[in-house]
Structures are given as structure tokens and as C-alpha cells.
Structure 1
Amino acid sequence: MLRRVATVQVVATGTLIFLIIGGAGVGVLALALLGGEILHFGHPDVDGPVSVEAVAGFLGAFGFGAAIVNELLGGGTPGMIAAAVGGGTLAAVPTAWLAGRLSRAARDMRTDATPTRDDLVGALGLVVTPIPAGGYGEVRVRVAGQPVKLNARADRPIPLGAQIFVVQTLSETSVHVETY
């Protein structure tokens, strides 16, 4: 007579604690990336010696790394749990350093200046709605590589599809053009 025996794999208490620490690290990282101002302590213009992202990376890598080592060793004794802590620390230190470097690089990334209406002068484009004498039509120009559709005036009528260049900006959304 054969009996079926159900086996239940029990997770060691140390592994469970390490997994909770890793999950907390992932949670802190998600909060730091999605809403960095929520976890910012002190004056907003002053960075501390350790960023929230680095702490989150350390906690996540430490928790998950230690859980893996603990399960591989069968962490039932204090010595094996100490070895799991060492393995978690070995995974966490470079991860925290990398997270700090990447978050600092993203935060301090240089960007181009925002285009202003003065950047429109000299832009080349096409008439997309004919420009009547004394009235407004529409033109499409490229500013900083992006197509922009603007209201346009001209000294004389300009037909649909004509090539133009901007000679003056009248407002943020309208320009004075001439044929090219």
C-alpha cells in the first residue's frame, strides 16, 4: 500500500527576514524614483552623504543577496546566518555605489536650454494653411529639431506648401514670415 505524503517546504526564518529587508529596499527605491521629494530630509538644495536611492539599493541587494546565500547554505545555525549576512553585504556594497552614481548622474544631467520665441527667427518651414493679405495663416517650422505649428502673417499672400522663413516673432504663437 502506497501512501502519498504531501511535502511542504518551509522557508527558514532568517531567509524570510532577509526577503522582507529586500522588499523594503525595493519599496523605498520605488518611492525614491517616483516621488523623490516625499523622502527628502532637510533642505531641498543640500544633498547628504548618502542618497535615498543608494540606501534603497543597499537594502534591496543586501536582503535578496542574504536570502539567496541563506537558502544555499541552509542557514540553520548562527554561523550560517552570519555567512548569509556577509554574502548580502558583498552584493549590497557595489549595488549601493552604482545606485548612488546612477541617480547622481541622472539628477545632474546637463540639458539644452528651453527654446524661446527668439529661437524662431530664421527658422525655415512650410505654409500649411494659406496666408492671406492682412490676415493669418499657419506655418510649420522646426525649432530645436521639433516641428512647431504657428500662426503666421506676411506682407503679401503666400499659398499652401510654399517654403518660408521666419523674420520676426509677433508673440509666443505667431510669427511674421517671408517666402524662401
Structure 2
Amino acid sequence: MQCVATGTQAFLLIGGAGIAVLALALLGNGLFHLGQPDVDGPVTLEAVAGFVGAFGFGAAIVNELLGGRTPGMIAAAVAGGAVAAVPTAWLAARLSRAARHMRTDPTPTRDHLVGAIGLVVTPITAGGYGEVRVRLAGQPVKLNARADGPIPVGARIFVVEALSETSVHVETY
């Protein structure tokens, strides 16, 4: 079994460090709230991590293909790593920027419940609560419901007022 060249081991360590930095960059901002979102400047941490990772792994591949035992071959491996690293860093920067600036719908609140149309799934008694199912932001939501009079199962309803995040006042539709 052939042993891995020392240059290749160094390049693999550089690539592994790039992957570790990329994991910290992606998870650190989202999970651990490290740093401020717009402090990176013109070059993001994700782009640097992508560059370092692609450089290390690309150089390791070229070094093994060339059998990099001489300084000239190792220099060629460095050049090959740089050729792999530049487009990877550009792509990482574009993807991270796109993810940060992705437009999303606003989070639904209780005010969005007013005007919703749904069905009674547990009968609403006079002066008591039942259950209704409405669609909120395209998703079915089951809520506690009150009404001025009794409403049977299967009746279509209209939400008049949101009493809380989980209960509404309804009328028949």
C-alpha cells in the first residue's frame, strides 16, 4: 500500500480546516448567534472557508496525480488548488448572500385569523367552546371557537374576532 505524500497530507489538513470554518460560519451565525450579520465586509466568511477548503482538497488531488515529491510539482499542486478555489469561493459568496437576503412571507399573527373561513370540527355549544379548522398562510390550523349560538359539526364558519392566538369568535358563513 502506497503512503500519502507529505504535501498531500498538508493540503488535506488545509481542506479540512476550510470545511470546519465553513461549518462554523454557517452554524455559528444561525445557531450560536456569533457576530453581526453585515460585518463581513466585501468578503464573507463563507467565501473564505470555501476558498480554503477547495484550495486544500484541489491541491491534494493535483499533488497525488502528479506524484508531488519535488518543489516544482508541489508548486503545480498549489496552482491547481487555486484554480479550484476561486470559482468555489465565488459560488459560496453568491449562495450565502442569496440565503441572507432571501425574501420570506411575514409570520402570521392573530390578526391574520380575522376573516378566515373554515369548518367546525367539534360542535360549538351556546356559551361554550368548540373547535374549528381554518387555513392560515396556506396551512390548516385547528382553533378553539366560540359563537353567539350553537353551531353543528361540518358547518362553514367565518372568523369575526381573534380572542387569542388559539381561540376565535365565529359566525356561520
Same fold (TM over 0.5): yes
Q: Percent same amino acid at aligned positions?
A: 81
Q: d(CA) in 2 for partners of 1:153 and 1:89?
A: 67
What is the CA–CA distance in structure 2 between the aligned matches of 1:118 and 1:24, rounded to whole Å? 48
1:45 Cα deviation (Å)? 4.3
Q: For 1:21-52, what per-residue CA distance to the aligned partner results, in whole angstroms no more than 9, with x for missing partners?
A: 011111111122222266955x5543322111
Structure-2-length-normalised TM-score: 0.93
Work out whether 1:65 is the aligned partner of 2:58: yes
Matched, 1:121 2:142: no
**TM-score of the superposed pair, with normalisation by structure 1:** 0.90
Query: Aligned match of 1:151 in 126, 144, 147?
Result: 144
Counterpart AA for 2:18: G
Aligned partner of 2:6 in structure 1 is 13
Determine the structure 2 residue equivalent to 1:82: 75
Structure 2 residue aligned with 1:105: 98
Distance in structure 1 (CA, Å) of the matches to 2:77 and 2:39: 36
1:30-45 to structure 2, matched below 5 A, reads 30-36=23-29, 40=34, 43-45=36-38
- Give the ranges of 4+ consecutive aligned residues of structure 1 lying more than 6 Å apart after TM superposition: none
Structure 2: distance between partners of 1:108 and 1:44: 11
Mind listing any 5+ residue stretches in structure 1 that lack a counterpart? Answer: 1-7
Q: Paired residue for 2:153? A: 160
Q: Residues 100 and 142 from structure 1, CA distance in 2 versus in 1: closer, same or farther, beyond 3 angstroms?
A: same
Tell me how far apart the structure 1 counterparts of residues 33 and 80 of structure 2 sit (CA, whole Å): 28
**Distance of 1:69 and 1:105 partners within structure 2:** 31
Q: Which residue of 1 aligns with 2:123?
A: 130
Contact 1:162 1:179 in 2 (8 A): yes
Unaligned runs of 5+ in 2: none
Task: Give the structure 2 partner of residue 4 of structure 1.
Answer: none
Q: Which has the higher helix share?
A: 2
Rg comparison, structure with higher value: 1
User: CA distance change for structure 1 residues 39 and 54 in 2, over 3 Å: closer, same or farther?
Assistant: farther
Distance 1:39 1:86, change over 3 A: farther
Secondary structure, aligned partner of 2:61:
helix
